[in-house]
Every structure is written in structure tokens, then in C-alpha cells.
Amino acid sequence: MTSLAEENYLKAIYKLHERTGTMVTTSALAETLKVSAASVTDFIKKIAAKKLVSYEKSKGVKLTEKGRLIAVSIIRKHRLWEVWLVKKLAFKWDEVHEIAEQLEHVISDELIDHLNKHLGFPTTDPHGDAIPDAKGQFAKTNSKPMLECAEGDRVKFIGVAEHSNSFLQYLTKSNVNLGDEMLIESIEEFDNTFSVKINKKENKIFSKDVVKNLLVAVVR
């Protein structure tokens, strides 16, 4: 018996913890869920009573293993639906989030199994994020922000650290796509502007704001 609200709280706690690595604060949750801090305090007490989170008054919350499994199953569903929307329904990668936010709450393990099979058991979503398996395990990846690369590195673009429509649309418009191979030709030390050769053809200039959000894997 997991309500819609519960699923959204657990998912938000998971994602905030992923970003910060610390306990999740009431105000951060209120901000992401667009509800008042008072509502968050209220709700947290309820899910703490159900042992989905551990709660330290005035300090914040952390998912229990039970809560984590629910959160991850929602994320799994969300990402599988995103793959479907892009691969089968021809949506763009910047159009799928809101729809997947609804689809992720549909309850049927058989549905998810069939969908997973229909998609050929994908391991990443259209933004390069890993899809956890049915047991809640993530394959670990060796990606890092391009910002951490050095001149001369040859890398593959495998994910984004920022999922806003404006960033995704900037990449689409610039014809930068997941899977592209990139050679970092030079880095301007002053402002971290990167000069990159893409797929051995085009040259592109990326600002620091861009390279810190491009996740890459070093090739060779």
C-alpha cells in the first residue's frame, strides 16, 4: 500500500540524497515537491512510522532499505518508460520527463517485465542514466563530468548531469548526441572553455557550464 504521495516523497528523498550525500532536509523536500515545510514535517512523521525513512527531528531524513527499494523501483519504472517513449513512440529526450512522471506510478510487475523485454532489456535511459534491475541494483558506471578531463583525452559522451529542457535542447540544437566520441583538443585555463572535436569531424566550443554537465567515459 504505497500511495502516490508516498512514492513521490521517497523518490525525492532518494534524488536529493544522491546529489548531496547527506541527510535530506525538510526545506529541500518542500522545495522539490512544491509543498510547504509544514506539510513535509507532517508527512515525514507518517513515513517514518512506516519505517520507510529514519527521521532525526530538526536534522532531516534518510531512506531505510525498505524505503530505498520503493524509491529505486519508481526510478526503474520511470527510466524504462522514458526509453519506450523515445525508442518506440519517437518522442525527443526533452519531451519525456513529465509523461514518465505519470507512467512511473502504474502498478503491475508483469507490465514492467513485459515492457523491459519489449525494449530489449535496456541498461540506460535516453539521458544516459542507469536503469536499476528488478532487485534495485545499479550497474556501476565510470562516467565523470567532462570538466574533470585533461587536454588530449579521448572520451565518449554517455550522460548528462543536468536534465533541464534548456540544457537538453541546447545539446540537440548543437547536434551533440549521446554516444558521440569527443577529443578534447584544448582547455582554456582561465574560464574552462573546452575545444572539442566531435566524431572526428566537427569542432565545438563548450563553456564550463556545459562541460560540467556532460558526463563522459574515457576511451582506451
Partner DNA sequence: ATATGGAATTAGGCTTACCTAATTTATTTT
Partner DNA sequence: AAAATAAATTAGGTAAGCCTAATTCCATAT
Binding site for DNA (CB under 7 A): 3-6, 25-28, 33-46, 55, 57-60
Cα distance from N-terminal residue to C-terminal residue, the chain: 48
Question: Which of DNA, its own copies, none does residue 37 bind (CB under 5 to 8 Å by kind)?
Answer: DNA
17-30 burial string, b = 16+ CB within 10 Å, else e? Answer: beeeeebbbbebbb
Of residues 108 and 137, the one with the C-beta less far from its own copies: 108
Place of cell 528523498: 13
User: Cβ of residue 136: shortest distance to DNA, in angstroms?
Assistant: 22
- What secondary structure letter does DSSP report for 144? E
Of residues 58 and 166, the one with the C-beta less far from DNA: 58
Question: Which of DNA, its own copies, none does residue 38 bind (CB under 5 to 8 Å by kind)?
Answer: DNA
Residues in contact with its own copies by the rule CB under 8 A: 85, 88-91, 95, 98-99, 102-103, 106-108, 110-111, 114-115, 118
User: Cβ of residue 83: shortest distance to its own copies, in angstroms?
Assistant: 14
Q: By the 8 A CB rule, do 176 and 207 touch?
A: no
Question: How many CA atoms within 13 Å lie on the side-chain side of 127?
Answer: 21
Of residues 115 and 184, the one with the C-beta less far from its own copies: 115
> Rounded CA gap, 137 and 69, in Å?
9
